[in-house]
Structure 1
């Protein structure tokens, strides 16, 4: 556990840091300690751990990554509401590399959201908002005899909102995709992507000039963001942009490989289940 020196005249707020990337956790803990007035009770690396740690440590605020294996940040919040009710929820600051989640974060009553890579002044602002929200909650509990009933009504509304968000069809795919290249987050036109592959849970995205990683957890998640008229799942481990196929190479036993137009001219296998689709695409 880490702790920081108190902000003058204010009691420290207690915090939990949850992110599946260790470097992101370390960076966030460093910034919180440098700001002061925050006592870090612990850290977790996935949504399942988050639920248990929140139950055990009961922090004032949770800095919660949106996209994590097991349970994402919104699913963590939903599970906590179902277990404990809104009145026992900590404050939540969502952390994400995608600002498309910002509106949704506020829709589920988060106190704030912060974008990766983290900025100290932005983290400080999130801490100040958390402190203000905690002060408001304290005043409400001491002055309103109907606070519990109001929060129960809020729980029902919030559960309904979360359910609606999970079941509402997504809008059209964005034209650009975020690709992480070392510490940089690059916006890449979908048309520039040659292919994506998954290996040991990491999705690699390749263009003619850039090679990086997607924050998506599965190729299914990635495909939801991609234009289906361009991208095809040629193999369980690969998604290809059909406009970047340079050559179709006959392989053994009536199978094929695709030679892409990236710098390495990567050869990608076509699964037997997708051979028919390949023949339809190129009239083989």
Structure 2
């Protein structure tokens, strides 16, 4: 039997996937979760063999969940991760490796059957290698440009130009070296597209643009960024562990 945990913040998508999985012989749905933190708790408690993991969730992305798992579990304890996403196939070229699969929303039963066949093959392979390879691919900035708004004009930014992103007055703003732009993407979408580092619920930074790490109050930190204003970005306790790992301090 293949023991599965389904993680998705949208109940209709979660229910649809469960319905399809229950039609697959040999699959047992151990439980479900509707956010990243709950997923981490249930993975540690239930130790499912496979996790179908939504990428875009409000508290933490599926990629952030994967990075946490790499620090919390031994290689032999890691589950196989199957990403669930609304991205099209071209945008998901990085997922097409032999170790970790993905399924697109709305879910297709035939495609899911193919995924299950891959899972059966993967169960005999080291999960840590699988997860590390896919995360290494996904953390590289995408070549696709990011559309932003300035003075009623739409500009296209290269990811390498971006210093950090933040939420200001309910808008998501993107800071480059000397300019600030508005974008229609939310921070979770930008985190997935760019592979940048989440430091706070309202901040996402380009790790290559961090100039200095400054100790702050109660074990927290601020990051001094490499823009012309030398902007200071907070690091909250929630994201401190991941920030320390990515920046090696």
TM class by shorter chain equals: 0.5 to 0.7
Which of 173, 189, 198 is equivalent to 2:145? Answer: 173
Which whole-Å CA distance do the structure 1 matches of 2:189 and 2:3 have between them?
Answer: 37
Task: Show the counterpart of 1:104.
Answer: 94
- Tell me by how many angstroms 1:46 deviates: 1.2
Post-superposition shift, 1:165?
Answer: 4.5
Matched with 1:133 is 122
User: How far apart are the structure 2 equivalents of 1:20 and 1:108?
Assistant: 27
1:158 maps to 2:127: no
Q: Which residue of 1 aligns with 2:11?
A: 22
Q: CA deviation at 1:85?
A: 3.2
Unaligned runs of 5+ in 1: 1-11, 138-146, 176-189, 192-200, 204-214, 226-284
CA apart distance, 1:109: 3.9
Q: Does 1:90 align with 2:64?
A: no
Q: Distance in 2 between matches of 1:78 and 1:108?
A: 19
Residue deviations 1:192-231 (CA, integer Å, cap 9, x gap):
xxxxxxxxx9x9xxxxxxxxxxx95449839x89xxxxxx
Measured in 1, the distance between the counterparts of 2:65 and 2:91 equals 15
In structure 2, the CA distance between the partners of 1:216 and 1:103, relative to structure 1 (3 Å rule), is same
- Count of paired positions: 161
Q: Secondary structure at the match of 1:98?
A: coil
Matches within 5 A, 1:21-40: 21-40=10-29
- The CA distance in 2 between the partners of 1:172 and 1:77, in whole Å, is 23
TM-score by length of structure 1 reads 0.48
The structure that is helix-richer by fraction is 1
Whether the aligned pair in 2 keeps the contact of 1:108 and 1:162 (CA below 8 Å) is no
Specify the structure having the higher radius of gyration (Cα): 1
Q: C-alpha separation between the residues in 2 aligned to 1:90 and 1:84?
A: 9
Runs of 5+ unmatched residues, structure 2: 148-153, 156-169, 173-183, 195-249
Among candidates 30, 33, 40, match of residue 41 of structure 1: 30
Per the TM alignment, residue 101 of structure 1 is displaced from its structure 2 partner at its CA by 5.2
Larger RCO: 1 or 2 (CA < 8 Å, sep 6+): 2
1:14-52 deviations in Å (ceiling 9; x for gaps): 100001111000000000112232100000111111111
